[in-house]
A = this chain, B = another copy of it.
Amino acid sequence: MDNGRQIKDMLYEQVARIGKAISSPKRLELIELLCQAEKAVETLAQEASISMKLASAHLRELRNARLVDTRREGKNIFYRLADKRVADFWVNVHSLAEDRLVELQEALHDLSLLPDELVPNDRESLMKAARKGEVVVLDVRPVDEYLTAHLPFARSIPLGELKHRLAELPKDRPIVAYCRGPYCLMAPDAVALLKDEGYSAHLLRDGVAEWARPSGN
């Protein structure tokens, strides 16, 4: 049965291609960005703070692992997730990491300045309140990401425009801001800004990918 060993080695090696694809921080960040919307290489490079060449190299790895696909439009090549399952997988990976790695737990805890309980924090009651208009769910990502997918009842004001568009938000109701997910810092920034301006602002850790999945586990 030495033949069986060769077959097995081959099978695990194939699965490891997925593992290798997600073994680099920058590739994970690219996947999270692609969870929001399809994007051109240069956009991805800027949002992940790397050079276009490096982004291209990482995206190639992701494509070799069949996690992303491409589409050309004029001079641009747009990358997108190859499958909705890839978004679920990303959520599963980071949520496992949050479960297992104390360092990550601590870092996230430091970021979120204590989850304040003024706002419903389970999904159902948050949605109920949002439906009734008792809270404003605010999507602070770029508009194209909002247009690709957003949480139910969410309103779009990109972080960059928030300062000039404060008038659109009510001061008498709590505002719950979200962005790309727990590693994106746009919503925390938005919350800080809103609180400064006297709003009752709260942070929702989930993004659309997390929302589409059984909460946190």
Q: What residues of chain A have their CB less than 8 Å away from a CB belonging to chain B?
A: 1, 4-5, 7-26, 28-29, 49, 65-67, 82-83, 85-86, 89, 92-94, 96-97, 99-104, 107-108, 111, 182-185, 189, 217
Which B residues are CB-close (under 8 A) to A8?
A: 29, 183-185
**CB < 8 Å neighbour of A19 from B7, B24, B82:** B24
A192 → B minimal CB distance (Å): 12
Known: A15-B93, A24-B19. A107 touches B217 (CB 8 A): no
The reply to whether B94 and A15 form a contact with Cβ atoms under 8 Å apart is yes
User: Which residue of B11, B92, B185 is within 8 Å of A7 (Cβ)?
Assistant: B185
Can you identify 30 A-B contacts, CB atoms within 8 angstroms?
A1-B189, A4-B185, A5-B49, A7-B185, A8-B185, A9-B25, A11-B183, A12-B25, A12-B26, A12-B28, A12-B183, A14-B103, A14-B104, A15-B183, A16-B23, A16-B25, A16-B28, A18-B100, A19-B19, A19-B22, A19-B23, A19-B28, A23-B23, A65-B101, A66-B100, A66-B102, A85-B217, A86-B96, A89-B92, A89-B93
Assess A111 versus B9: contact at CB under 8 Å? Given A14-B97, A18-B97, A92-B92.
no
Contact of A11 with B67 in the complex, beta carbons under 8 Å: no
Bound complex: CA A112 to CA B14 (Å):
17
Give the one of A28, A94, A96 with max B CB within 10 A. A96
B-side contacts of A24, CB under 8 Å: 16, 19
By beta carbon, the residue of chain B nearest A89 is B96
CB A37 to nearest CB in B, in angstroms, measures 19
Chain B residues within 8 Å of A10, by CB:
107
A184: chain B residues at CB < 8 Å are 8
Q: A8 to B92: give the CA distance in the assembly, Å.
A: 18
